[in-house]
Amino acid sequence: MRKLKLQVQMTVDGFIGGPNGEMDWLTCPWDDALEQYVIALTAPVDCIVLGRKLAQGFIPHWAAVAADDANPDAAAGRTFTDTPKVVFTRTLTHADWPDTELARGELVAEVTRLKQQPGGDIIAYGGATFVSALIRHGLIDEYHLFVNPVAIGRGLSIFGELTGAQSLTLVRAQTFACGIVVQHYEPKRG
């Protein structure tokens, strides 16, 4: 079965965005070692899953980056643009983006269907609502939490909808020169 990985930026106090989704706290630029970590993380990925809200900015942004050969992130943009995407939505009726399908069914059934298909790993990017639902339903197989060296006091959490403890096993923690610490966890199952 394919693995569903979560890659998410967060603050040391556990928020993935400010109260209104602000991202002005992100650590930029990344150092080369962190970029290599992401390349290794995404190398076996052949499907990206996104919530609708993030998809509406994420997909056009990376398509524009991919089209600009002068942009230092053009290669990453091409990877994001060329990788098939599944956007989870209750409101969209068609995808305006290439290599994108819509998942309009129940989240657990749709993710389970994707995991059972042949192929490489799946990676999730998303806003707090989408990621919270994936976590609440126990659908994430690997957490890659990119903890930025900043606290913002309040904001959007991805763990706020848990109804009980979800035990995780630390696989690896790695610090990077830019100040980000990546914490890689896997859920303790059964």
The pair phi, psi for residue 22, each rounded to 5°, is -60, 140
Q: Dump pLDDT digits (tens) for 148-184.
A: 999 999 999 999 888 889 999 999 999 999 999 999 9
Question: Which residues, at least 6 apart from 96, have a Cβ–Cβ distance to it below 8 Å?
Answer: none
Domain ranges (residues) in the chain: 4-121+129-137+146-177
Q: Dump pLDDT digits (tens) for 51-97.
A: 998 888 888 888 888 899 998 888 888 888 899 999 999 998 988 88
Name residue 51's amino acid. G
Q: Is 120 within 8 Å of 46 (Cβ atoms)?
A: yes
Q: What is the pLDDT of residue 183?
A: 98
Q: Alpha helices, DSSP H only, in the chain?
A: 32-42, 52-67, 74-82, 107-116, 128-136
Are β-strands 15-17 and 156-157 bridged in parallel, bridged antiparallel, or unpaired? antiparallel
CATH of domain 4-121+129-137+146-177: 3.40.430.10
How far lies 179's CA from each of 29, 34, 125, 143, 164, in Å? 10, 10, 21, 19, 31
Question: Comparing C-alpha atoms, which of 94, 19, 28 is closest to residue 55?
Answer: 94
